[in-house]
Amino acid sequence: MTNRKIVVALGGNAILSSDPSAQAQQKALEDTAKHLVKLIKNGDELIITHGNGPQVGNLLLQNIAADSDKNPAFPLDSLVAMTEGSIGFWLQNALQNALLDEGIEKEVASVITQVIVDKNDPAFNNLSKPIGPFYTEEEAKAEEKRTGATFKEDAGRGWRKVVASPKPINIKEIETIRTLLNSGSVVIAAGGGGIPVIQEDSGHLTGVEAVIDKDFASQTLAELVDADLFIVLTGVDYVFVNFNKPNQTKLERVSVAELEDYIKEEQFAPGSMLPKVEATMAFVNNKPNSKAVITSLENLGELIASDSGTIIVKH
- Which of 75, 52, 73, 78 is closest to 63 using CA atoms? 73
Distance CA 123, CA 119 (A): 9
User: Which residues are within 8 A (CB) of 42 and not within 5 positions of it... i.e. 6 or more apart?
Assistant: 2, 304
The residue from 11, 51, 63, 129 that is catalytic is 129
What is the enclosing helix (H) or strand (E) of 251?
strand 249-251
Q: Is 41 a catalytic residue?
A: no
The residue from 51, 191, 194, 214 that is catalytic is 214
Distance CA 14, CA 11 (A): 6
Q: In 10 A of CB 117, how many CB atoms?
A: 25
CB of 225 closer than 8 Å to CB of 7: yes
Distance CA 108, CA 91 (A): 9
The residue from 12, 53, 158, 207 that is catalytic is 12
CB of 295 closer than 8 Å to CB of 308: yes
Q: In 10 A of CB 162, how many CB atoms?
A: 19
Q: Is 13 a catalytic residue?
A: yes
210 by Cβ neighbours in 10 Å (0-12 / 13-18 / 19+) ranks as: buried
Q: Is 5 a catalytic residue?
A: no
The residue from 51, 132, 276, 287 that is catalytic is 276
Q: Is 245 a catalytic residue?
A: no
Q: Which residues are catalytic?
A: 12-13, 129, 214, 276
